[in-house]
Structure 1
């Protein structure tokens, strides 16, 4: 489908089942040329397509379809256009009435062979194109400008970036979740080749790239203004029961809390359109995985619960949204099984990551907010006696089934950062003070040492406390002002990825809670991969403001246990106000403690995290 270049010209093919005639208008020069398309067939679309070969068309040529249905003739941007231009647009007029697709070529030369890290070592950094590089002097809101910040991420130690959606949206600024044309790169962010250059550069810096895709709705308007380049009533068919046309549902299946309309998953052609979009990012752009926005709103109708999709299944007798997800994950599994698919569902439903052969949706992982939520609740609880360590311990062990790497865990995602960032929630009015710094480190420390795939949202490592939006750029001055805070997160990530070869247990799937003391508010847990004393790690987290000069902890094995991280260390304080509680390497004694045969005593600072290994 779409515009396919050949020697001497281009084939245009489009799905328009109700059209009486279709033509393509191309702009090889100032004046357009129109070519008539003939009825055609295409895999997945049956005989409802139209196509024609147009000689003389080259990469960079603008084009638009002219669709006739009865007495109605309208012009439309290609539903699979990879790039869009607006010849009449200016900042003053914002005239998008003459929107056109752009024929794109295959001339990009990839320079960086890449093997993504294994999912056990994966550490994700979630970022937004329009704000991540904006704060750099001379910074811009383009994917190309992101390339200049890749060394920063490489040095931080993350090995994957998850980019908020960057496909064409109708508003001047956006978080990315109001896409109008899911195949087209947002014009203000760059071109398809710019995205490829970003992916290639990320790979050269050892960073996998995960693309955030939105299939629960596709916008056709901007603040109530119908966008002339949207897919609204694409081929003229738009009955009162389904005014948005062939790509979308009508009735009570049309709306979602995040926008409307919802794609019509009941149509095999629409499912194919979305499936091929997912494969485009993985194959044409060489992305290393996909994050699927609000899969709950793909599989369920909007319900009475307000901002969630808690109604019935999408479809009558069949859940077509579920089938869409299965078709996409099956296609990825068949073609590039090493690439990760992640669902943002937030219902904790293990069926999302069950294999499709067992009736599951087939995702490799799903977002799990339970651990981050329990940690945030504990660290923002003003009454120390009410800190619920059991909730944190239960969330560490994971509710989503037997595979801990089937969940992505985090303190903040873009959603939490929009509402209220953790440092401000911890210490309102003093979000850069001692409590905010100590507790923010502890929160990240617990999440990054628990089983799962950890994720940071941009700026967390710099103690950014401002509510985030698409007009709040990264404050890069904080990289110097909070160098100690950043250093802690760098060291934490190195421990999580076993970069120094001493904390392999954090890459393992096993965890056992050693103790969750309701009186001291100290939580300890054991992590291992192969175990048997070979790669074991013990984590001690003090959720209290008390300093313990000598805190006894049960240990799984004898021998010397070395302190790999102590968040109370002075090097992590940017104000010289950490206690630097002495926490030394210790030899385990044959003294039973916490139901373990060995134990040792360690110094434990207030709100401190200590990571030990043999």
Structure 2
């Protein structure tokens, strides 16, 4: 929409013979559009106000929403709406953050607060800042069916979910976050589109039969007519990073972005994002969710990689959870015992070419040329909680001391840590899978798909109904932080985050500054060193006390013990100071940090 109230409408439909724009609100007006030689239809309309609703009529077919809609006020089947993109920003001094500065907090807009919207997040920004969080990662907000969804069933990538607060609500959140010194990372889905409200194939060749995804037809990134599709998603990414001032994108399952082009889509996207970063003078990040154990995605383009900046590491979570719970069902069959966690601490990937029982093949490659800050790890996230049958959190399966141990393993890791909302105070409510579809056949298919997904885990109980209001309400954070354990856990997270930020050895992320050892079956010992600062990290994963013998010449000075009474623990048996040959006793499920002097 232009200042003179003219508005240019464009839509890609290369095989259509006619395209008509119908402005249906506040009054109905019809415009015949003109086609260019690339299959785009264009028209300029006069006297268009923000709030004007419209649809396209391809040929003589039924009217359809705009694939590039910026707003769907009546849901995924209703008309699109013209929006006012102007916003009064006050974050001009914000420059963004480097990867090594990130302490990420993943959240779902709908279940984070009682208001279920962006405003509810704004109300908790001061709390997150005081905790030490430097970035929030928001699960997808592209318009989805109904008002309850994880967001991965979105069908209008350019439209901000109306029930969350729409365009202005998201911009207000980003602006407020920057005022608190918090970066915003947005989860985006470029590997598939949701099934309900998906009218894209009626416009043109958005999908390809060359590949398959677990969630629906593969997006056409390398088949005939793919240029328009690639351009659409690149423009979407740049919109978030530029117009919305978003600091980074977490790209869902990039391994399912199938592309055999000479220049992979993610490489083309990273090139455009780097250009935007240079033009704006503000840090912009691309983070890949990746199930390939391949550093190619985060290798610079000039070295033959795709130029993304960081990636999620599920294997750190799998190794930690399997060790703490003893779970070896499903994909946890590739884990168990201390060795996988030690390898993840050292190498980021657990599988670097060895045989995987679950995958039935050799898997992965050594990423040793990449610094630790290019890898994002977590003890919990939306997938690893919500894709359990009951959506049960890690803390509901392990004792309190083990919760503190998990926090220490995460926050003292050399990788970039990510928390999942509520983790820091031990939220007991689950995070379950929920939807609000209107198609009965789709609802049945989703339920059956969930049942099949859980078959290899041998879990017991009834699958929560994704369509039920109760499932959504049960997943909304309680914010019950009144118990002694909740208070102690929150303060422990706060302490460890601050410790991570202020110690030189903790800030350093190069691989030659970390040494990992396993002195015994249940004891992990890690040394982190940088510029004269040396720290010894000890983690006991046993339900019994274990002993560590300090064989070095340095004296030790204790800086942290998760078993201490201050953290609502049983009390520390480890000395505050120790010398060579000292015997250090670790309480069950505890973590200790010593400075080497």
TM-score bracket for the superposition, by shorter chain length: 0.7 to 0.9
Report deviation, 1:294: 0.8
Whole-angstrom CA distance in 2 between matches of 1:287 and 1:47 = 31
Report the counterpart of residue 609 of structure 1 in structure 2: 591
Whole-angstrom CA distance in 2 between matches of 1:489 and 1:319 = 45
Whole-angstrom CA distance in 1 between matches of 2:233 and 2:240 = 11
Report the counterpart of residue 108 of structure 2 in structure 1: 128
Q: 1:382 to 1:202 in 2, by over 3 A?
A: closer
Report deviation, 1:263: 4.1
Report the counterpart of residue 560 of structure 2 in structure 1: 565
- Classify the secondary structure of the residue corresponding to 2:408: helix
Report the counterpart of residue 478 of structure 2 in structure 1: 475
Question: How many residue pairs get matched?
Answer: 522
Report deviation, 1:553: 2.6
Deviation string, structure 1 residues 213-241 (Cα, Å, up to 9, x no partner): 1011012x33xxxx3x732312xxxxxxx
Report the counterpart of residue 403 of structure 2 in structure 1: 440
The 8 Å contact of residues 290 and 340 in structure 1, kept in 2 or not, is answered as yes
Whole-angstrom CA distance in 2 between matches of 1:441 and 1:417 = 18
The 8 Å contact of residues 207 and 217 in structure 2, kept in 1 or not, is answered as no
Whole-angstrom CA distance in 1 between matches of 2:159 and 2:98 = 30
1:401 to 339, 352, 368: 368
Provide runs of 4+ in structure 1 moved above 4 Å.
420-427
Deviation string, structure 1 residues 347-371 (Cα, Å, up to 9, x no partner): 2111111122333222111111222
Whole-angstrom CA distance in 2 between matches of 1:514 and 1:401 = 14
Report deviation, 1:116: 2.6
The 8 Å contact of residues 129 and 146 in structure 1, kept in 2 or not, is answered as yes
Q: 1:380 to 1:51 in 2, by over 3 A?
A: same
Q: 1:198 to 1:514 in 2, by over 3 A?
A: closer
**Structure 1 residues 53-132: aligned runs within 5 Å:** 53-68=44-59, 72-86=60-74, 97=77, 99-112=78-91, 113-132=93-112
Q: TM-score, normalised by structure 2?
A: 0.81
1:388 to 337, 343, 361: 337
Report the counterpart of residue 594 of structure 1 in structure 2: none
2:244 to 285, 302, 309: 285
- Classify the secondary structure of the residue corresponding to 1:74: coil
Whole-angstrom CA distance in 1 between matches of 2:508 and 2:391 = 28
Whole-angstrom CA distance in 1 between matches of 2:506 and 2:493 = 18
Report the counterpart of residue 185 of structure 1 in structure 2: 160
Deviation string, structure 1 residues 421-469 (Cα, Å, up to 9, x no partner): 9996878xxx38xx52111221221122122111111122222344412
Gap regions ≥5 residues in structure 2: 329-334, 350-366, 435-471
Report deviation, 1:176: 0.6
Whole-angstrom CA distance in 1 between matches of 2:382 and 2:327 = 25
Report the counterpart of residue 410 of structure 1 in structure 2: 378
Report deviation, 1:340: 1.5
Report the counterpart of residue 440 of structure 2 in structure 1: none
Report deviation, 1:180: 0.8
Gap regions ≥5 residues in structure 1: 41-45, 90-95, 134-138, 235-244, 300-313, 592-599
- Pick the structure with greater CA Rg: 1
**Structure 1 residues 152-551: aligned runs within 5 Å:** 152-219=127-194, 221-222=195-196, 227=197, 230-234=199-203, 245-249=204-208, 251=209, 253=211, 255-260=212-217, 262-266=219-223, 267-299=226-258, 314=259, 318-319=260-261, 323-336=264-277, 338-381=283-326, 388-398=337-347, 399=349, 400-402=367-369, 403-420=371-388, 431=396, 436-469=399-432, 470=434, 471=472, 472-478=475-481, 480=483, 482-498=486-502, 502=503, 504-510=505-511, 511-513=513-515, 515-519=517-521, 521-529=522-530, 531=531, 533=532, 535-547=533-545, 551=548
Q: TM-score, normalised by structure 1?
A: 0.79
Report deviation, 1:182: 0.7
Across the aligned residues of Structure 1 and Structure 2, the Cα RMSD in angstroms comes to: 2.7
2:124 to 149, 157, 168: 149
Deviation string, structure 1 residues 325-356 (Cα, Å, up to 9, x no partner): 11111111222163211111122111111122
Deviation string, structure 1 residues 368-416 (Cα, Å, up to 9, x no partner): 1222221222212399xx9732222111012333221221111111111
Whole-angstrom CA distance in 2 between matches of 1:424 and 1:551 = 34
- Classify the secondary structure of the residue corresponding to 1:348: coil
